[in-house]
Structure 1
Amino acid sequence: MRSCPPPWSFRGHAIHCLRRSPARPLGPAILLVHGFGASTDHWRHNIPVLAEHHEVHAIDLLGFGRSAKPAGPEYGGALWRDQLCAYVQERIGRPTVLVGNSLGGFAALAAGAALGDQAAGVVLLNAAGPFSDEQIPPAGWGAIARRTIGGALLRSPVLQRLLFENLRRPSTIRRTLRQVYVDRTNVDEELVEAIRRPSLDPGAFGVFRTVFDIPRGQPLDELFAQLEAPLLLLWGIRDPWINAAGRRAAFQRHAPAATSEVVLEAGHCPHDEVPDQVNRALLAWLAALPAAQTPPTVGMPADPRPDAAPVL
């Protein structure tokens, strides 16, 4: 994987990004967006295959991976949406398919809706984010008290530090991954270390603390209503974190009528768990997009530097 030439910054903060492309890429560019706690290397099994025929970019969201982890920004969907929009406009410069997993799926959808005709498509893999009817506050004094007391405990700096130290232990990372991968073949030391390494960066704990205050963001149904680009939903249907089967039904109620769907026997991160199946489905969908076989006339030159070390 090659670093993006030259280094890119967003609002004055250094952003880690990758670009791979054949000499004559087909169709729109592709931008891959990781989920919470992950980074560009979670696409380790996808980038080489997709880049055989397409211009492929991957980016670390601000606060994650090798990107900066500043204390100032208000982390959340609006920030990451703006980061992706800026990257497409400043670094890619042509219509782009945004592909996102989990939190990255929400950011990709929000950016796709904001980019208008600069978004050639959006692909969501077990995307996070609320629907309007899920943002209704709990009813009754008991429910309010439980949420208030629980929130107060989770905002304790001491408890947050204990949680952070535990969550970044290799054994905890490995155990968590094994909970959300049905086929655990790719839960390997490379993946565990790639997730652990960024947690050692200065500022990592500060970013982690903001998790408890991240705004929920614009509801998914509103974003679907604004989206003009084709949409592909790729489901790891055995995802234990988001009740994928029930969530799929909610997406079917709100997503645009022309939406395509692929359901896979996988967990929360199907792109890394069953990458061959995801790559086939994504390439088939890309081939059916308008002007999919047309080489681009605008784009960045290939990066001549040696491959960068793998990161997540």
Structure 2
Amino acid sequence: MTLTPTALLAAPQTWMWRGFPICYQTQGQTGPAIVLIHGFGASWRHWRKNIPVLADIGRVYAIDLIGFGNSAKPKPGEEIDYTFETWGQQIADFCKEVVGTPAFLVGNSVGCIAAMQAAADHPEIARKVALLNCSLRLLHDRRRAQLPWYRRVGAPLLQSVLSVRWVGQNFFRLIARPKTVRKILQKAYINPEIVTDELVDLLMAPAADPGAADVFLAFTRYSYGPLPEDLLERLSCPVLILWGTDDPWEPVDLGRNLANFPVVEQFIPLEGVGHCPQDEAPDRVNALLGDWIQTSVQQEAQQG
């Protein structure tokens, strides 16, 4: 029997945050701290191909943001607000209470926004930040305001319809099916062989949790908060950007604009890769992140 990448890892751990259980995985005993932050609808398991490799050079932590994976899914608006400020605070508190030292923060998609929010609000917890196909938040209110009127109305209408609870719940049940999830992944990934049963299962499992639909619908209505440009202007630590050039959701040509911010050290395109480089091209991503982290540590040591 061939073991999956997840099966080769230790059992995940639990950290209590604001009274809610938060799931995370960790590996590595020495070296710099590395905190991995997943994208929308994913979990720490989306980093299963990266954790063991990065653990050779540091202490790796991969966290499930509240509302996702095996972390708690409290009721939106009543028990918690699902915003980047909330997730940024969760990451900052995790770094202080569990990690214990400033860390290299690595995010994918909306996890990049959460990582930057944490580093912007709490600069003491971040050594540097790496963004893998950062969400450009193209449905943000400020983005839509720049579009012709006929292109501005679609998303708000859909958000309004989904805000009707029974409509939203039925919509979630329709998309939270293995066949639908597989089709979505086959658009996000360029190499269809990467879309395995294991990948579908790890994304599907949390969707069955109580509260998962409410979290999903809350995020679909979240069209405000920070844009990546806002946070890059506030960051005081250096940033590395990796971008799969064939991403169908976050166009690389728009992503390149982020490289113009002074805090961005390097923008590296990953040819022939889609929205989730850490899973689709783990060897390339692991090598780039490993070199970046080790070089950064050496430079810091030289600077005293």
Q: TM-score, normalised by structure 2?
A: 0.87
Partners of 2:100 and 2:169 lie apart in 1 by: 41
In the alignment, the residues of structure 2 paired with residue 280 and residue 157 of structure 1 have an alpha-carbon distance, to the nearest angstrom, of 45
Q: Name the CA distance, whole Å, in 1 between partners of 2:105 and 2:162.
A: 33
Specify the alignment match of 2:61 in structure 1: 57
Residues 165 and 291 of structure 1: is their aligned pair in 2 closer, same or farther, counting only changes over 3 Å?
same
Q: Does the C-alpha gap of structure 1 residues 9 and 278 become closer, same or farther in structure 2, counting only changes over 3 Å?
A: same
Residue 61 of structure 1 aligns to a residue whose secondary structure is coil
Give the AA of the match of 2:44: T
Distance, in Å, in 2 between the alignment partners of 1:280 and 1:119 is 21
Q: 1:148 to 1:136 in 2, by over 3 A?
A: closer
Structure 1 residue 214 displacement after superposition: 2.1
C-alpha distance in structure 2 between counterparts of 1:214 and 1:252, whole Å:
26
1:160 Cα shift?
A: 1.4
User: Which structure is higher in RCO with an 8 Å CA cutoff and minimum separation 6?
Assistant: 1
Is the Cα–Cα contact under 8 Å of residues 33 and 59 in structure 2 kept in the other structure? yes
Q: 1:92 aligns with which of 99, 118, 130?
A: 99
What displacement does 1:33 show? Answer: 0.4
**Structure 1 pair 251–144 and aligned structure 2 pair: CA distance change class (3 A):** closer
Q: Distance in 2 between matches of 1:146 and 1:236?
A: 28
Correspondent of 2:207 among 199, 203, 208:
199
**Alignment partners' CA distance in 2, 1:141 and 1:286:** 45
Tell me by how many angstroms 1:133 deviates: 9.8
Residues 205/284 of structure 1: CA separation in 2 closer, same or farther (3 Å cut) = same
Shift of the 149–17 alpha-carbon distance from structure 1 to 2, 3 Å rule, reads: closer
Residue 16 of structure 1 corresponds to 23
**Does residue 32 of the first structure (1) align with residue 36 of the second (2)?**
yes
Q: 1:229 aligns with which of 217, 221, 237?
A: 237
2:220 paired residue number? 212
State the aligned residue count.
288
Kindly state the Cα deviation for residue 149 of structure 1 after the two structures are TM-superposed: 3.3
Aligned residues of 1:262 and 1:281 also touching (Cα < 8 A): no
Residue aligning to 1:261: 267
Q: Note the alpha carbon deviations across 1:112-152, whole angstroms, 9 max, x for none.
A: 22221331110000111449994463577656655553432
Q: Calculate percent identity across the aligned residue pairs.
A: 36
Give the structure with the larger helix fraction: 2
Deviates more, 1:136-145 or 1:285-294: 136-145
Seen in structure 2, the aligned counterparts of structure 1 residues 153 and 133 have a Cα distance that, compared at 3 Å, is closer
Q: What are the ranges of 5 or more consecutive residues in structure 2 without an aligned counterpart?
A: 1-8
Matches within 5 A, 1:1-312: 1-3=9-11, 7-22=14-29, 25-26=30-31, 28-71=32-75, 72-130=79-137, 134-135=142-143, 137=145, 146=154, 148-243=156-251, 245-253=252-260, 255-265=261-271, 266-291=273-298
Write out per-residue CA displacement over residues 49-96 of structure 1, whole angstroms, 9 at most, x where no aligned residue. 001121000000000000000102110211101100000011111110
Q: Distance in 1 between matches of 2:134 and 2:123?
A: 20
Identify if the C-alpha distance between structure 1 residues 130 and 198 changes in structure 2 by more than 3 Å, giving closer, same or farther: closer
Shift of 1:222: 2.5
Q: CA RMSD in A?
A: 2.3
Which SS does the other structure have where 1:179 is aligned?
A: helix
